[in-house]
Structure 1
Amino acid sequence: MKVVTHSGTFHADDVFASAVLRAALGDFDFSRTRDTALIAAADIVFDVGGAYDPARRRYDHHMRDLPRREDGTPYSSVGLIWRDYGRAALSRFVPDIGDGERDSVWQDVDASIILPIDRTDNGVATASPSHLALLIEAFNPTWDSTQTYDEAFAEAVGLADGILRRVCRQAHAEARATAFVLKAATEARDPRVIVLDRKLPWEKAVFGSGLTDLLFVIYPNEDSTSWYCRTVPPEPSSFGQRLSLPEAWRGLQEEAFSKASGIPDGVFCHPSGFICGARSRASALHLAEQAIAVGRETGAA
């Protein structure tokens, strides 16, 4: 199979598109050129050629009538390649991915990595100095470099491959975490409290699955030497609380916290009232139950 993109200066979209195709298709004959004959003879062409025709595997986006996403955002070459080859690429980036997780992971990576490159490449968004697109462009040879553009491109693709591998695996881990959280929610005796047997990302599951009654999440720390009772925020990535921990607990530690909360093994309560901890699962669960009881008395719950 022959795959072609343009020669010379490269950007994040063609670099990442190349990494996606390599993951999806394995080995192929790759050329960077603007020779029209070589472009016409290629099996897949991206970011060059002046044509957008998925049926013929032509993925340029530099035309007046350029391809767009459903929301109107213009595609760059990586957006087009990820759309058509990203799901196949996931099999290499995340070897143990299941078919039931593939679409969720694909969508997460599209939103977190691919779409921002589309937007920046097309001038829809401005790239900050630390933006991924500018970091990739920094791989282009300097005016006094002896490195060729093709050599620099290959080096940049290696970085893009590593980034995609990590981002895909993180998205896969989040998809698996969502399944754990939803299972815990179905097994909970009180819809306001769920208990997880390991520390994992739970906010996406809570807000994406409509767990609107949930107030507290109980989970162990990394080595299971203590357990946290964490309040659920009103929106993702917020330190606010649907129900705050009692004022009387806040800022206390060890014996003082244990006495105030009525447990034998308290560790701490954060001064802002969004998290507290104990040395046992039972005590952490008791903290949540006590916080709900106090909230009911004060009218907060």
Structure 2
Amino acid sequence: RVVTFLPRVRPQILNPFPMAAAAGATSPKRLRVYSSAAGDADSSNGAGNGRRVGTHNGSFHCDEALGCFLIRLTSQFAGADVVRTRDSQILDSLEAVLDVGGVYDPSRHRYDHHQKGFNEVFGHGFNTKLSSAGLVYKHFGKEIIAKELQLNEEHEDVHRVYLAIYKSFVEALDAIDNGINQYDTEQTPKYVNNTHLSSRVGRLNPDWTDPDQSPEKENAAFQQAMALAGSEFMEV
């Protein structure tokens, strides 16, 4: 009896958003991340064309890394610079602010979720409190999907993908950032899972024992975090 072994061929996984992947590229020419208004003087020579998106400096999390990646895929904020600061005067001067500032006001592109009384959810049957990533996705997700699928935002396929990506990817990031358990139980987990995206982004923060605690190193790490979170979003 002759047995023929056929080589296993890994199916090619097509990126559904090739244009978005290019727009989210994190080369220095396309993305500038800095921690103060010092970068404003030469903003006309940077990637942002004057548009700036703010988030906090210091330790970062997956939600603002993904939120910054996503908002730069929109027509309004394509290629915007990212300013990392907690200075309220600088934040007030920016076109959009994520995960800092204590304000949720989409009319002014303010997307924080830490303030008292915040209980915004995605809707459509989802009840998990949103993080900054979920807020950006809620307001811009259809635009991003429609543009890359080359369909109208109201097309049923856009709506279907919009809900599917929230369910399969974004909701978990919202829950983890807001400290919401996956199961309704008070029992101690049998194991610790540090392999999920939020943990991997968190590990990109500079180690406190590193002698180089400069803003430049922290911002470079945040840029890596944006690339990691964004690349996984593109693969959903």
TM-score (norm 1): 0.52
Match of 2:98?
46
For the 8 Å contact 2:197–2:229, the answer to whether it is kept is no
In 2, the alpha carbon distance for the partners of 1:21 and 1:37 equals 22
172, 178, 190: which one aligns with 1:116 = 172
Tell me, yes or no, if the aligned pair for 1:52 and 1:67 is still in contact at 8 Å. Answer: no
User: Following superposition of structure 1 onto structure 2, how do residues 247-258 of structure 1 map, counting pairs within 5 Å?
Assistant: none
Written as runs of structure 1 = structure 2, the 5 A alignment for 1:36-185 is 36-69=88-121, 70=123, 71-91=126-146, 95-99=148-152, 100=155, 101-125=157-181, 128-143=193-208, 144=210, 146=212, 148-167=217-236
CA deviations 1:183-237 (Å, max 9, x no partner) are: xxxxxxxxxxxxxxxxxxxxxxxxxxxxxxxxxxxxxxxxxxxxxxxxxxxxxxx
How far, CA to CA, are the matches of 1:129 and 1:159 in structure 2? 15
Where structure 1 has 5 or more consecutive residues not aligned to the other structure, the ranges are 168-301
Higher helix share: 1
| AA at the equivalent of 1:129 | N
Of the candidates 53, 72, 84, which is equivalent to residue 22 of structure 1? Answer: 72
Superposition deviation, residue 90 in structure 1: 2.4
User: Are the equivalent residues in 1 in contact too, given 2:68–2:82 (CA < 8 A)?
Assistant: no
2:62 & 2:178 partners in 1: Cα distance? Answer: 11
5+ residue gaps, structure 2, are 1-50, 183-191
Letter in 1 for 2:151: G
The alignment yields a C-alpha RMSD, in angstroms, of 1.9
**2-structure distance, mates of 1:9, 1:64:** 21
| Contact 2:204–2:225 (Cα < 8 Å) also in 1 | yes
Paired with 2:96 and 2:229, the residues of 1 have a C-alpha distance of 20
Over the matched positions of the two proteins, sequence identity in percent amounts to 31
Q: Which amino acid aligns with 1:9?
A: S
* Equivalent pairs, count: 165
CA shift, 1:97, in A, is 4.5
Q: TM-score, normalised by structure 2?
A: 0.65
| Displacement of 1:98 | 3.0
The residue type paired with residue 158 of structure 1 is A
- Distance in 2, matches of 1:113 and 1:17, equals 13
Q: Deviations over 1:244-296 (max 9, x none)?
A: xxxxxxxxxxxxxxxxxxxxxxxxxxxxxxxxxxxxxxxxxxxxxxxxxxxxx
Matched residue type, 1:12: C
Alignment of 1:145-294 (within 5 A): 146=212, 148-167=217-236
How far the C-alpha of 1:53 sits from its partner, in A, is: 1.2
More contact order relative to length (CA 8 Å, sep ≥ 6): 2
| CA distance 1:145–1:158, change in 2 (3 Å) | farther
